[in-house]
Chains A and B, each alone.
Chain A
Amino acid sequence: MARASIVGAGMTKFGTHADETLAELFAEAALPALDDAGAGPDEVDALYFGNTSAAISENDTHLGPKAASQIGLAGVPTQRFEDACATSATATKHAVAAIEAGLHDVVLVGGAERCTPASGLDTDEMTRVFASAASRHYEQPVGLTFPGVFALLTKRHMHEYGTTREQLAEVAVKNHHHGSLNPRAQHGMEITHEDVFDGPLIADPFHLYDCCPFSDGASAILLVSEDAADSYDSTPVDINGIGHASGGVPLSEQSAFTATRAARDAAAEAYAQADIDAGEVDFAEVHDCFTGAEILATEALGLFEDGEGGPAVADGRTALGGEVPVNPSGGLKAKGHPIGATGTAQLVELTEQLRGDAGDRQVEAPTTGAAHNLGGEAATTVVTVVEARP
Chain B
Amino acid sequence: MTADEVPAYAEGTGLAHATWARALRDGVLLGQECSDCEHVLGTPKSVCPACSGRSLVTVRLPTSGEVFSETTIEVTPEGLDDRYQVAVVDLGPTRLLARVADEVEIGDPVVFDGFVQYEDLPGPRFVAEPTG
Q: Which of B33-84 contact A (CB under 8 A)?
A: 41-43, 49, 68-81, 84
* CB-based contact A142/B86 at 8 Å: yes
Shortest CB-to-CB span from B60 to chain A, Å, is: 17
How far apart are the CA atoms of A137 and B24 in the complex, in Å?
Answer: 12
Shortest CB-to-CB span from B79 to chain A, Å, is: 7
The residue in B71, B72, B86, B106 that gathers the most chain A C-beta atoms within 10 A of its C-beta is B71
Q: Which of A153-167 contact B (CB under 8 A)?
A: 153, 155-156, 159
Cβ contact of B121, chosen from A141, A145, A155, cutoff 8 A: A141
Residues of chain A contacted by B49 (CB below 8 angstroms): 248, 253
The closest CB in chain A to the CB of B24 belongs to: A141
Please classify how large the interface on chain A is, using the bins under 10, 10 to 19, 20 to 34, 35 or more: 35 or more
Answer whether residue A120 sits at the interface, using C-beta atoms and an 8 A cutoff.
Answer: no
Q: Which of A127-176 contact B (CB under 8 A)?
A: 127-128, 131, 135-145, 147-148, 151-153, 155-156, 159
* CB-based contact B117/A141 at 8 Å: yes
How far apart are the CA atoms of A84 and B100 in the complex, in Å?
Answer: 27
Please classify how large the interface on chain B is, using the bins under 10, 10 to 19, 20 to 34, 35 or more: 35 or more
Shortest CB-to-CB span from A342 to chain B, Å, is: 20
Residues of chain A contacted by B41 (CB below 8 angstroms): 253
Answer whether residue A230 sits at the interface, using C-beta atoms and an 8 A cutoff.
Answer: no
How far apart are the CA atoms of A144 and B85 in the complex, in Å?
Answer: 9
Residues of chain A contacted by B119 (CB below 8 angstroms): 140-141
Shortest CB-to-CB span from A246 to chain B, Å, is: 12
Answer whether residue B118 sits at the interface, using C-beta atoms and an 8 A cutoff.
Answer: yes
Answer whether residue B114 sits at the interface, using C-beta atoms and an 8 A cutoff.
Answer: no
How far apart are the CA atoms of A313 and B78 in the complex, in Å?
Answer: 35
* CB-based contact B43/A152 at 8 Å: no
How far apart are the CA atoms of A248 and B95 in the complex, in Å?
Answer: 13
8 closest A-B pairs by beta carbon, nearest first, are A141-B123, A151-B71, A142-B123, A128-B77, A156-B69, A141-B121, A124-B78, A252-B95
A sample of 12 inter-chain contacts (CB < 8 A) reads A124-B78, A127-B77, A141-B117, A143-B86, A143-B123, A145-B77, A148-B73, A151-B73, A152-B86, A155-B69, A155-B70, A253-B41
Instruction: Name A's B-contacting residues (CB within 8 A).
Output: 122-125, 127-128, 131, 135-145, 147-148, 151-153, 155-156, 159, 200-205, 248, 250-253, 257
Known A128-B79, A144-B73, A253-B43; further 4 A-B contacts with Cβ < 8 A: A123-B75, A152-B70, A202-B73, A250-B43
